[in-house]
Amino acid sequence: MTDYKNFKIETDADGIALVTWDMPGKSMNVLTAEVMDELDAIIDATVADAAVKGVVFTSGKSSFSGGADLSMIKSMFTLQAEEKAKDPAQAVEKLFALTGRMSGLYRKLETCGKPWVSAINGTCMGGAFELSLACHGRVASNAKSVKIALPEVKVGIFPGAGGTQRVPRLANAQDALQMMTTGSSLTGARAKAMGLVHQVVAPDELIPAAKQMIKDGLKPIAPWDEKGFKAPGGGIWTPASAQLWPAAPAILRRETAGNYPGALAILKCVYEGLQVPFDTALKIEQRYFTHILQTTEAFSMIRSLFISMQELGKGARRPAGVPKTEFKKVGIVGAGFMGASIGYVTAAAGIPVVLIDRDQEAADKGKSVCEGLTSGSVAKGRMSKEEGERLLSLITPTADYAALSDADLVIEAVFEDRDVKKAVAEKIEAVLPEGAIFASNTSTLPITGLAKNTKRPAQFIGIHFFSPVEKMMLTEVILGKETGDKALATALDYVAAIRKTPIVVNDTRGFYVNRCVFRYIGEAYDMLVEGVPAAMIENAAKMAGMPVGPLSLNDEVAVDLSYKIFKAAIADLGPQSVDPRHMELVTKMVEDGRLGRKAGKGFYDYPPKPQKKKLWPGLKALYPQQKPEEVDVKVLKERLLVTIALEAARTVEEGIVTDPREADVGSILGFGFAPYTGGTLSYIDGMGVATFVDLCEKLAAKYGDHFKPTPLLLDMAAKGETFYGRFDPYAKREAA
């Protein structure tokens, strides 16, 4: 049989060909045009070879496959844009043909006449699982690393290579819809319970079990190709379906507010597809997939949540030519909840940590936070007891700053006070080795000012974590005016080591994420003052696509933090820097002890569990209330999104954010900015800068000058530019 670049084939004495997918130079297999061409040839070759009785398809890596390759996804959008410029109608035809390539290949495998069994080890996602579904048998390992999913909806599309048709023909429709509309991962056992895999076995039994299926006479025919096939539960026209299908769109709308076309397309594909023969159903899926690929939501989400996130995670902003740092020890100064959590994620990456506080008792208390996080992970099965013990053994609590004398990186995470940070910086400076990098986990204080506390500002940088550290995937890396390339490279190496996504921003008060967050909260303050009912503010935010309302978010970050930020802004910038109505509102909340969730009361009341939080009834008495029917919910949604996007545009104009990918990814990972938009700048680009400017001017006329479009936006609107065009992140790289 021919030699292949991405596959190895060995045929045993029983005539079973073991096809091992093992792409050279990659840590994980991905679907590319080349891989599909080779797979096409392998199907032909195994069919033509009379000695081959069946095929076992597996991975030569620790994981099966993560699905489609980033470059292939990008090329589809590039091709679409190029063809659309030439001939829009022809562009759609070409896109339709392109989207059918993978689905057609899988159907060819499914109907080739010889049995194929997929042996699934590790992660099996997206198009790779759709490939497995086209095989006649599926065996999964019972290892903890096995994650089976069709997660396409999370990046704005849906399973378009047969997934929406095969899953509901193997599992009941309700489970199928739940799996695909949420993109949730399944263990091997759960996939078997749903009917998506046939066997779950120990890792060392995976290939033998797969081969045994063929030896036992596995039929090379999919169930839906057999006469008399009926979908689980009986299909669409049954009493159970009569209950499911009227409710499904309503439930989806409740969860997504109609913001995700890809999720709705899943419902349509399944509902229509189950009523027709399988090949017709695949065409229905192909038609919807072609349509969804042309939506702004799909383009923006794939760009930000798939392409940009991967590029940033792989060091897109890392300075060239600086050797990579291998961390032998990281020091964390400040063992409060934030510092301890940073220590926990550092140790979880296998890096030894020194956790320092004012005395041994405070340092030990910090380690106890790590112990609590570890026991929680062990209880949830995310790590074994031995892994937890190993993690904790890497964390050394102490009050002795001398323990930092051989650290590669020290992160200061003490109280947000300049004087406290200055005193701590002096102690760190006294013992810090010459080549080490010194970072501050400040959330608001400018890095350039803090760098004055150190003798080597070139080695000083901001690394801003978000709470809870162990869950939040974003880290903001802040450059002071004198921060050097080595400090930036080391910070990015560290963020990569702890498996988080970094954005790099220049120095300013509040940096990028917090500036946007406080504009969101500030707009809610405006609405409260206007008498908009608090429930409408919160619900409008969720309908706009935000994960939590601005008042709920303010409770989470603490209402007294807003008060402290206002006081600091007034002290540094003067009274005109804060809206007096906002100061009055927050002052009243703080005086009443309504400090947020931590105090058990804020804009919400937090009763003992299992009761749910409820908006504080006293909010209605603070300002004269508008009648709900007098409030335009569409305008509330616009105000909340536009005020954030405008602030993001200001940070670009001021040179704080220099790469649109970071503005978008940072806004989604940092505070959940409506993911279907692709992020703050994609929200503007998606509607067009001129349209956005018109919307800003309309809102400014009614709700205040903070909605006025900036000079940059006015210039871009006049020139017909976009953020990704004017600040093209790839142009710099190509020029270099």
Nearest-angstrom CA–CA distance, 140 and 187: 9
- Residue 673's Cβ-count burial label (10 Å; 0-12, 13-18, 19+) is buried
Q: What distance, in Å, lies between the first and last C-alpha atoms of the chain?
A: 44
Phi-psi bin for 80: left (phi > 0), alpha (psi -120 to 50), beta?
alpha
Specify whether 582 is catalytic.
no
User: Are residues 55 and 14 in contact, defined by beta-carbon separation less than 8 angstroms?
Assistant: no
CA atoms within 13 A on the CB side of 639: 27
Q: For the chain, give the number of residues.
A: 736
- 3-class SS of residue 370: helix
> Comparing C-alpha atoms, which of 216, 166, 213 is closest to residue 194?
166
For residue 430, the Cα-to-chain-centroid distance in whole angstroms is 40
Integer-rounded Cα Rg, in Å, for the chain is 28
Other CB atoms within 10 Å distance of the CB of residue 509: 17
Cα–Cα nearest to 278, from 200, 168, 417:
168
Residues 3, 42: contact at Cβ < 8 Å?
no
* Pairing, β 123-125 against β 147-149: parallel
Residue 52's Cα: distance from chain center in Å? 43
The catalytically annotated residue of 136, 198, 464, 582 is: 464
Q: Is 629 exposed, middle or buried (0-12, 13-18, 19+ CB in 10 A)?
A: exposed
CB atoms within 10 A of CB 712: 17
The answer to whether 156 and 300 have CB atoms below 8 angstroms apart is yes
Query: What does the H/E/C string look like for 667-723?
Result: HHHHHCCCHHHCCHHHHHHHHCHHHHHHHHHHHHHHHCHHHCCCHHHHHHHHHCCCH
CA 733 – CA 78 distance, rounded (Å): 18
Contact 353, 330 (CB under 8 A): yes
Q: For residue 596, is it left (φ>0), alpha (ψ between -120 and 50) or beta?
A: left
Q: What are phi and psi of 438, to 5 degrees?
A: -115, 125
Q: Do residues 310 and 335 make contact, with C-beta atoms less than 8 angstroms apart?
A: no
Q: Which residue has the tokens 């695909």?
A: 180
Q: Which are the catalytic amino acids?
A: 464
